[in-house]
Amino acid sequence: MPSAYASLSLPLHCDDHKTIARCISLVENNVAGTQEFLQHLPAANTPVIGITGPPGAGKSTLVDALIAHWVKEEKRVAVLCVDPSSPFNLGALLGDRIRMSQWYNHPHVFIRSLASRGSLGGLHPHIMEIADTLKSAGFDYVVVETVGVGQSEIEIAGLADCTVVVLVPEAGDEIQTMKAGLMEIADVFVVNKADRPDADTFIKHLRQMMAPAFARTSAAIPIIKTIGTNGTGIDELSEGISLALQQQHHTDRRYWLLADKAWHLLQQRVMKTYNKATLRQALQQLPREQINLYRFVAEYLKSHAPTE
């Protein structure tokens, strides 16, 4: 393995947190040798669990409770927490992850905070590569918690094998604005903070709203009540995730997701050639009054073939 990866102990093992952390940093910054490293990752069936939903739904608290549940079952868990970015240095604003602090030194738990770096999809630009790096290390679960930006967050469905959408009883009419995107990607719904007033009424309305979608599937999407702060409903949530993973094993969705991942990788490789800086320079060489953007794009594509 060339360059920075040469000094690392490969292949990765889930107990070697230091090497895993170093590999993620290299992949995150796409240093020399990253593509070769990724191409040599062994195939892995580790499920990726996506935890998504609007801000304030209690996603981090739920992830913390799920970690406790799985650690009790002697599972090894990796967690990627995608946080909002600083507009100045693109770093993670909430990188310390106070709610999960008890797990940072646990030998069976690996937690990494990542910045969304301005991505509207609520994920890190290299989240797929980082998740595959963790999968190759032999963890039992890889959990991805997204920023929580609302409807534009649906790209988690292209990464996760099971997507958990977390809502709260106070969401109310907010669901109507989310259902065109975020609400349609759920494998499991969670109504967190279910001890609050009107939780049962909210769940009833949620079932009514999702009835048309349920009618197109062989089974209704489960809606699970939880109270993340005291662990209520976490056993049921874990069972719901396991059932969703088993059901998806027998559907074509896995291949749809793989094709979606391949498409994003192809986009990344192609767009290395077409960046805004080179486009701006090419446009500046043309007389302003003669610019036809459609003709410009066609001619630019002809003269700039994608390169490695």
Q: How confident is the model at residue 157 (pLDDT cuts 50, 70, 90)?
A: confident
pLDDT tens digit string along 88-140?
444 445 544 556 778 888 999 999 988 765 554 456 778 889 999 999 999 99
Domain ranges in the chain are 43-252, 263-303
pLDDT tens digit string along 180-226?
566 678 899 999 999 998 899 989 888 887 776 655 555 678 999 99
The 10 Å Cβ neighbour count of residue 56 is 13
The 10 Å Cβ neighbour count of residue 197 is 9
Would you put residue 103 in left (φ > 0), alpha (ψ -120 to 50) or beta? Answer: alpha
The strand pairing partners of 144, in sequence order, are: 50, 80
Q: What is the CATH number of domain 43-252?
A: 3.40.50.300
